[in-house]
Amino acid sequence: MQLLWQILVNGVLLGGLYALMALGLVLVWGVLNIVNLAHGALIMLGAYVCYYFFTGLGWDPFAALPVAMSLLFCLGYLIQRWVLNLVIRAPMFNSLLVTFGLEVVITYLAQLLFSADFRTVNPSYAGANFSFFGATVPWVRVLAFGVALALTFALWLFLDHTRIGRAIRATAQNLVAARLYGVNPRQLYALTFGIGAALAGAAGALYGVVSQINPYIGAGLTGKSFAIAIIGGLEKSLYVLVGGLFLGVVEALTALYIGPTYTDVVSFGILVLVLIVRPTGLLGRTA
């Protein structure tokens, strides 16, 4: 029972990070109707920004997180304005091909710049932990979980309680009506993609603290983000949080009772099952 409790705690902490990974993908998919296959590559870039600020400048990895978000926001804004905007009204297959091409280019450029070696971010407090009802909880994972929750709720507040956020939601629901109210879709799309890339950068910075990174982690993280988006649905950022927590706990239980090599099999098996039984997602109405 003690081992089960430890695994559940680990799964919840992992699920919070998973949710943040998926947030940017869900935002871009819901507003621009683009499934961004380069999303994992953007997460990977965020991890490397954190790594080099930590190793090169001696910054605390959590202090480097706003820098990673800012740089990835600028990159995402430029990608949408000068690349994706050219296919925004084309069939979805075209945008899939473009974002897949971007993922390949970013991955191989990262290999050229950073090499294919595995790297880790190990701050001085990496080994610090505390006991939570008998479970050993690393402080670094709690901090990453807390930041992931804070950014998830910040996005929810932004979309629901700011003028720009309401414009983004209105554009996602009815583009024609949004235009009649003075919304500039081209600028709003670039802003939305930039925010999605910034969230990916934040997720990457946190991922680099709790796991190893190399230029090829992007494809797997895109798949995880896609699974969470489908499981939680595209309607609200809080639904993505539920989907991330669900997947994190399921993977932790799978590693305990079946084996760690089967976590991806179970995760994507659940994805297929949800698509068959409830294609709108467990909580969402649009997918």
Confidence (pTM): 0.93
252: which 2 tokens? Answer: 């932790």
Domain ranges of the chain: 2-277
In order of 112, 144, 220, 223, 246, the CA distances from 242 in angstroms are 37, 17, 20, 17, 6
The neighbouring-strand residues paired with 131 are 136
CATH 1.10.3470 fits 2-277, yes or no: yes
Pairing state of beta strands 135-138 and 129-132?
antiparallel
CB-based contacts of 103, cutoff 8 Å, min separation 6: 37, 38, 40, 41, 218, 219, 222
Task: Walk along the chain (287 residues) and give the pLDDT tens digit of each residue.
Answer: 778 889 899 999 999 999 999 999 999 998 888 899 999 999 999 999 999 999 999 999 999 999 999 999 999 999 999 999 888 877 888 989 999 999 999 999 999 999 999 999 999 888 899 998 888 999 999 999 999 999 999 998 998 889 888 888 888 777 777 776 777 888 889 999 999 999 999 999 999 999 999 999 999 999 999 999 888 877 677 788 888 999 999 999 998 889 888 898 888 888 888 888 877 666 655 44
Nearest to 151 by CA among 143, 139, 162, 141: 143
Give the pair of three-digit tokens for residue 63.
């202090």
